[in-house]
């Protein structure tokens, strides 16, 4: 997942992300390093917080970007 990349681009700390999603900063770190995955119910809020799509969190292009290539 590309959570760290998006988090840093938004200027957020792990603690800020954790607080807004109601999880621990350890959980956010595990997501960022690939030791765990966010629960599906957290993905929409995480994507909204990081101003990206859920696909972008997984490193996937949007359908529009795939069609353009």
Per-residue pLDDT of the chain (69 residues; tens, 9 = 90+): 899 999 999 999 999 999 999 999 999 999 999 999 999 999 999 999 999 999 999 988 766 655 666
Q: Is residue 11 within 8 Å of residue 54, measured between CB atoms?
A: no
Chain-centroid distance of CA 61 in Å reads: 14
Domain boundaries, the chain: 3-60
Q: Give residues with Cβ within 8 angstroms of 69, minimum separation 6.
A: 61
CATH architecture, domain defined by 3-60: Orthogonal Bundle (1.10)
């Amino acid at each position: 997942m590309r959570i760290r990349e998006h988090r840093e681009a938004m200027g957020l700390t792990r603690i800020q992300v954790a607080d807004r999603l109601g999880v621990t900063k350890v959980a956010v770190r595990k997501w960022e390093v690939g030791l765990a995955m966010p629960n599906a119910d957290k993905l929409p809020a995480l994507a909204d917080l990081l101003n990206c799509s859920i696909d972008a969190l997984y490193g996937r292009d949007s359908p529009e970007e795939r069609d353009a290539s």
